[in-house]
Amino acid sequence: MRKGQNPAKFVKDVARPERVTVALLNYIPFLSGFYAETLDVLKVSLESMHKDAGLPFDLMVFDNGSCEEVRDFLVKEKEEGRIQYLILAEKNMGKGGAWNVMLAGAPGEIITYTDADVLFSPNWLTRSVEILESFPNVGMVTARPFRTPPEFYESTLKWAKENAKLDEGQFIPWETFLEFNLSLGQTEEENKKVYAETRDWRIAYKGVTALAGASHWQFTAYKSTLGQFLPFDMDKPMGQVRQLDKRMNDAGLLRLMVSDPLAMNMSNTLGYLRGELGNQKERGKKKESFGKRILELGFIKKMLLTIYNKIFKMYYE
C-alpha cells in the first residue's frame, strides 16, 4: 500500500537535453600490449572534444565491456559532470550492437558519433553542423577531409553535378593527406602514388563549401536520418562498419566532409601528439636493429600474432 505522495509529482520542470548529442564508443579490455596507452588516448580525446567545440552538446559514452580501470575513470567523469549519459555494457556487443543502442537512444536531434581515439580541433562541431544544415538531404558529415572510396559517394556527386558548383582537383594538401594515412600505419612511400593518382571533389552550395566523402569513424547526422538504417546486424566486432557508408550512398543521401582537418585519428597511442608521425620518414632511414628485423620476418611475425590472437580470444570472447 502506498504511503504519501511521490515527491516527483510536484516537480514542474525537467532538464532538457542539448540539441546535439556527442556519442562516443569505447572499448579497452585491458591496459597492456596493443591497449597500453588507450586510456590516455581516451582522456586526450575527451579533453579535446570539450575544448572550444563551438556549440553546446551532451556527451553520451557507450563502454563496450572495458576493464575495471577504464570503467572507474568513466564513472568518475560522469559523477563530475563531464559525461551526461554513461552506458556500461557487461560484454563487447560489437560496433553494430553498440550503434543500435547509441544511435536510437541518444536524446539529441543531431547525433555526432566518434570513436574513442579522435583528436578534435577548435570549432569542429560548429563546422560539421553548418554543413549538415546548409546542404539538403545530408546523410553524414565528417570533420576531416581525406580520400574515401568513390563508390561510397556516387550519390553525392550525382546531386552536386545537378544542383551545386562541383570542382575536381587536389584540394586536400599533401601534408594533410599524409598525416591521416600515417596514423593508420601506412608509409609515406606507398601514399605518394595514391595521392598522385587520386583527386578530391569540392562542392560549393549557398556559400558553404564541403568535400565529397565521409566515414563511419566520426560523423555528424540527424537522428531521424540514422534511424532509417537501424538496426545494424553485424556478426563481428569490427570490419563491417562500412555498411553505414554504403547504405547511405545507396539511399541517395549526401556524404560530406569539412574542407580542413578538424578531427584526427590518434589510433592506439599518443604518438601523434609526441610528433612520431612527423618523424616517421627520418626513422625509416635509420638501420633497424637485428632483433627488429627478426621480428619482421614473415613466418615469425605470423606465428607470434597467431599466438597473441589466441590468447586474446581466450580471455575476451
Least confident of 12-16, 141-145, 216-220, 293-297: 293-297
Is the domain spanning 20-265 CATH 3.90.550.10? The answer is yes
Q: pLDDT band for 280, please (50, 70, 90 cuts).
A: very low
Residue 30 amino acid letter: F
Q: Does the pLDDT value for residue 287 go beyond 60?
A: no
Domain ranges in the chain?
20-265, 289-316
Q: pLDDT band for 289, please (50, 70, 90 cuts).
A: low
Q: What is the pLDDT of residue 304?
A: 65
Mean pLDDT of the chain: 88
Return the higher-pLDDT residue of 187 and 135. Answer: 135
Q: What is the pLDDT of residue 13?
A: 66
Q: What is the pLDDT of residue 64?
A: 96
What is this structure's pTM? 0.86
pLDDT per residue as tens digits for the range 77-94: 999 999 999 999 999 998
The mean pLDDT of 25-47, rounded to a whole number, is 95
